[in-house]
Amino acid sequence: MKKNYSEAFHSNIKGWIALMVLLAIQACGGGGETNQTSTTQDTTNTTQDSTKTNTPQPQAPQVDVKLTAHAYLFAGLTPDDKAGMDSVFNQSGAKNHMNAFGQQWGKLENARLKKMRTWRGTELAKLNGESHNLFYPFSGPDFINAYEFFPNCDNYLMFGLEKVGNLPDFSQEKAGFVTNYLGSVRNALGEIFQRNYFITTIMGSELNSNVQGVVPLMFTFLARTNNQIVKVEKIQLQPDGTPKSFPLSEKLNPKKSVVGLMVEFLGKGKTKSQKIYYFGTDVRDAEMPKKMELTKFIKSFPNKVSFVKSCQYTLHESQFKVMRDLVLQDTEAVLQDDTGVRYEVLKDQGWKVQLYGKYNWPIADFGKYTYQPKLKKAFAEDSTIKPLNFTYGYHWNTDNTSVILAFKQK
């Protein structure tokens, strides 16, 4: 009896010891790998779910349907919401404009824009994948080329001599106004359709008739690039370079400080808006000391890329040193033709340069000083030059288009 009891006792003791050892091992993590992993995964999932729940999703800004309807009308398109402008869209002048404008835009799309976007997809992919602001001196209202090459910029800083202007109130105008106004829009864009750049004197005559200023042209380009208008304002720069907003119809004194335009827009399917800032002002060196607020405004934008196109070789001239220095010192890359910063200046300052297309003498409208022998030599000797299948600048009717993409070396 004692022997059986003793055996049973020791047997029980061994069982309890075994159980305690097993529990100790589990407490220290041994043998619990699956459960540990499962617990960690559950915790991670809980954290992720909590993050999804607590992080507010970005809300797209409210589109102004009436401003957008104006943009679509100028662009020869029919918006989803006509914003009470049905009677304007139904006029024969509007319908004729849609037909004529659509044909002209279709030719531009097939001849240049489609090819530019394909080129952009390979050559500008890195830049367009990063956060940038675009600096486009001597642009005039040429938003279309800026956007086709750089569609993702937060802000587009544009400059010209053309005034800001205003939008028409079609409901207050006489019969025939819609036909005449939309005809003037097409005429003002005529050189863009043919050459893909503006000629200031030709455009200016149209912008001083029915179409008052650059606003309608900017709106046209925005509508044709699948964007909608959020807000449009006239702005006046304060001494520290910050813009003060006013209604578009406000009359401001440009002698007090620089006056400009701000257009906020939203791409369809996007949640983040973008902005255009345009200033119709003289930016020669002789004028810039009186416009220090403009320089401060430009410099307030980080991560800038410069874009230069068909600018009458102004950046070759001594009287535009301020603008040239902003390109060289305040931006990290530049896409330009031969009218921009001279090739040897970029190379001398250590920029990495990639050439595209062909180089030829500047067109006869400009002096011999615009010819760049070092650029000609580079095009003759550089084995890394890549071809172009679209025209970019003044050689619009030949294949002598030259494009320069340069990066500042850090």
**pLDDT tens track for 358-394:** 998 777 677 788 898 999 999 999 999 999 998 887 7
Q: Has residue 17 got a pLDDT over 50?
A: no
Q: Has residue 303 got a pLDDT over 80?
A: yes
Query: What count of other Cβ atoms lies within 10 Å of the Cβ of residue 347?
Result: 15
Q: What percent of the chain has pLDDT over 70?
A: 80
Query: Which pLDDT score is estimated for 394?
Result: 75
Query: Could you tell me the pLDDT band of residue 40, with boundaries at 50, 70 and 90?
Result: very low
Tokens coding 283: 């930016």
Instruction: Encode pLDDT of 130-151 as tens digits.
Output: 999 999 999 999 999 999 999 9
Query: What count of other Cβ atoms lies within 10 Å of the Cβ of residue 227?
Result: 24
What order of strands is seen across the sheet that includes strand 274-280?
A: 243-246, 227-237, 259-267, 274-280, 155-160, 133-136, 304-308, 333-336, 402-407, 352-357
Answer whether 64's CB lies under 8 Å from 231's CB.
yes
The verdict on residue 73 lying in a domain is no
Q: Has residue 400 got a pLDDT over 60?
A: yes
Q: Count up the domains in the chain and report the number.
A: 1
Least confident span in 175-184, 247-256, 330-339, 342-351: 175-184
pLDDT, mean over the chain: 84
Half-sphere exposure of 299 (CA within 13 A, CB side): 14
Answer whether 325's CB lies under 8 Å from 288's CB.
no
Torsion angle, alpha carbons of 316, 318, 322, 326, to 10: 30
Q: Has residue 51 got a pLDDT over 50?
A: no
Q: Has residue 14 got a pLDDT over 80?
A: no
Closest listed residue to residue 72, CA positions, set 241, 222, 280: 222
Query: Which pLDDT score is estimated for 237?
Result: 98
Which position has the higher pLDDT, 210 or 383?
383
Query: Which pLDDT score is estimated for 317?
Result: 87
Tokens coding 299: 């410099």
Which position has the higher pLDDT, 206 or 381?
381
Least confident span in 282-291, 321-330, 392-401: 392-401
Q: Return the sign of the alpha-carbon dihedral for residues 314, 156, 126, 300.
A: positive
Query: Could you tell me the pLDDT band of residue 20, with boundaries at 50, 70 and 90?
Result: very low
The rounded distance, in Å, linking the Cα atoms of 257 and 292 is: 9
The rounded distance, in Å, linking the Cα atoms of 407 and 410 is: 9
Query: Which pLDDT score is estimated for 397?
Result: 67
Average pLDDT over residues 249-265: 95
DSSP-derived letter for residue 361 is P
Which position has the higher pLDDT, 301 or 170?
301
DSSP-derived letter for residue 305 is E
Query: Which pLDDT score is estimated for 19?
Result: 37
The verdict on residue 386 lying in a domain is yes
The verdict on residue 300 lying in a domain is no
The verdict on residue 385 lying in a domain is yes
Which position has the higher pLDDT, 246 or 19?
246
Answer whether 408's CB lies under 8 Å from 361's CB.
no
Q: Has residue 38 got a pLDDT over 80?
A: no
**DSSP reduced 3-state for 157:** strand
Query: Which pLDDT score is estimated for 92?
Result: 94
pTM: 0.83
Domain that holds residue 333: 306-410
CA angle, 310 then 195 then 333, to 5°: 35
Average pLDDT over residues 331-355: 95
Query: Which pLDDT score is estimated for 171?
Result: 81
Residue type at 296 in one-letter notation: K
**DSSP reduced 3-state for 1:** coil
